[in-house]
Amino acid sequence: MTYSRVVLSAGSNIGDRRAHLAGVVERLADDLIAVSPVYSTAPWGGVDQDDFFNVTLLAGADRNPGQWLDICHELEQAADRTRDVRWGPRTLDVDVISVSRDGEIVRSDDPALTLPHPRAAQRAFVLVPWLAIEPDATLWTPQGERPVADLIAELDPDERAGVVPVDDLPAVRRR
Ligand SMILES: Nc1ncnc2c1ncn2[C@@H]1O[C@H](COP(=O)(O)OP(=O)(O)OP(=O)(O)O)[C@@H](O)[C@H]1O
Ligand SMILES: Nc1nc2c(c(=O)[nH]1)N=C(CO)CN2
């Protein structure tokens, strides 16, 4: 038994953004612990592009970190995701933000799956939705384990202002 708890971030800024995010919730239905509201988010990373819709999800299951990443890639492929511009527009991006096992945060330098996600602490589009579903969330950073609320408070106010709640995705029924 390798029960693990995962934080995933999903984002879309091409096509039916809401439908792409709803597909993630549908796929993970059996493992879901919580799904944030949908947020409209200004593009992060310096590429001029349309706003994203983002959600952060908590899930738990008997899976290792690589199996969570496989699900992320499967979901991206199902949305016909292509890799063109780094941090550029996409139908669907699903990232593994953090995994914990038996309450211990998993850490990995593997470029194929770096954990926790090395840029999560700078991304209001990940942290703000995460805090909405887990008010005492913490993230491992190079400075150690930090409350997500503190990381958000340290972001540029413009970065925070670009992340605005829209509404909730419809609830899914467990299979
Ligand atoms: N924590 C992680 N979550 C998702 N992918 C990761 C992670 N760590 C490493 N990767 C690797 O990064 C590769 C590129 O991922 P992707 O195209 O989603 O990057 P990106 O979304 O453009 O940028 P970023 O990594 O900054 O979010 C993936 O194929 C994957 O193997
Ligand atoms: N607001 C926002 N910006 C992004 C996003 C995203 O999901 N939301 N994903 C990116 C690819 O890593 C690059 N920039």
In a domain, 173, yes or no: no
- pTM (two decimals): 0.96
What is the extent of the structural domain holding 29? 3-167
E-only strand ranges, 73-132: 93-101, 104-105
Mean pLDDT of the chain: 94
CA geometry: angle 71, 106, 157, nearest 5 deg: 85
Q: What sign does the dihedral 22-36-104-29 (CA atoms) show?
A: negative
> Which residue from 56, 58, 50, 59 is spatially nearest to 16, judged by alpha carbons?
50
Report d(CA 145, CA 142) in Å as an integer.
8
Ligand 1, atom 23, lies closest to the CA of 87
Domain count for the chain: 1
Domain assignment present for residue 172? The answer is: no
User: Is 56 among the domain residues?
Assistant: yes
Task: Decide: 39 in ligand 2 pocket, CB within 6 A.
Answer: no
CATH number at residue 26: 3.30.70.560
% of residues, the chain, pLDDT over 90: 88
Q: Could you read off the pLDDT of 42-61 as tens digits, one per residue?
A: 999 999 999 999 999 999 99
For the stretch 124-171, pLDDT in tens is: 999 999 999 999 999 999 999 999 999 999 999 999 999 999 988 988
- List, for residues 88-122, the tens digit of each pLDDT value: 999 999 999 999 998 899 999 999 999 999 999 99
Ligand 2 atom at minimal distance to the Cα of residue 88: 13
Evaluate whether residue 174 is within a structural domain.
no
